[in-house]
Chains A and B, each alone.
Chain A
Amino acid sequence: MTVELVRETWPGKIFTVTIGATASEGGTRARTVTVGGHAALPFLPGDAPSPNRPVVAMEVMDAVPQDWPDALKSQLGDVMGAPADWARKCVEAYGAELICLRLNSPHPDWKDASPDAAVATVRSVLEAVPVPLIILGCGHADKDNEVWPRVAEATRGERCLMGVATPENYKTLVVSCLADGHLVLAESPIDVNIQKQLSILITEMGISPDRIVLHPGNASLGYGLEYEYSIMERIRIAGLQGDKMLAQPMLTLSGEESWKAKEAKLPEAAQPVWGSEARRGPAWEAITATSFLHAGADILVLMHPEAAAAARRAIADLSAAAATA
Chain B
Amino acid sequence: MFIIGERINGMFRSVARAIRDRDAAAIADLARRQVSAGANALDLNTGPTGDDPAEVMTWLVQTVQDAVEVTLSLDSPRPAVIEAGLRACRGRAVINSTTGAAEKLDALLPLAVQFNAGLIALTIDERGIPRNAEARAEIALTIVARAMEAGLPTDRLYLDPIVLPVSAVQGQGPEALNAIPSFLALCEPMPHIVVGLSNVSQGAPNRGLINRTFLTMAMAMGLDAAILDPLDQELMDALRTASVLLNREIYCDNYLQVRTA
Contact = CB atoms under 8 A, between A and B. Distances in A.
B250 A238 contact: yes
A271 interface: no
Interface residues of B, number: 11
Interface string B218-252: 00000000000000000000000000000001111
Contacts of A243: 249-250, 261
B261 A193 contact: no
Contacts of B260: 244
A200 interface: yes
Interface string B28-46: 0000000000000000000
B254 A246 contact: no
Contacts of B258: 200, 244-245
B12 interface: no
A200 B108 CA distance: 42
B250 A192 contact: yes
Contacts of B255: 196, 200
Contacts of A196: 250-252, 255
A193 B252 contact: yes
A35 to B, nearest CB: 22
B52 interface: no
B257 interface: yes
Interface in A143-196: 192-194, 196
Contacts of A242: 261
A131 to B, nearest CB: 34
A61 B257 CA distance: 38
Given A243-B261, A244-B260, A200 B251 contact: no
B254 A197 contact: yes
Nearest to A246: B250
A201 B249 CA distance: 18
A197 B252 contact: yes
| Residue of B250, B257, B258 contacting most chain A CB atoms (<10 Å) | B250
A242 B260 CA distance: 9
Interface in B103-152: none
Nearest to A167: B253
A294 interface: no
Nearest to A191: B252
A246 B251 CA distance: 11
A204 interface: yes
Contacts of B249: 238, 243
Contact of A201 (B250, B251, B254, B261): B254
Contacts of B257: 200, 204
A234 interface: yes
Nearest to A201: B254
Contacts of B251: 193, 196
Nearest to A238: B250
B118 to A, nearest CB: 13
Contacts of B254: 197, 200-201
CB-CB nearest 4 A-B residue pairs: A197-B252, A196-B252, A193-B252, A238-B250
15 contacts: A193-B251, A193-B252, A196-B250, A196-B252, A196-B255, A200-B255, A200-B257, A200-B258, A201-B254, A234-B250, A242-B261, A243-B250, A243-B261, A244-B260, A246-B250
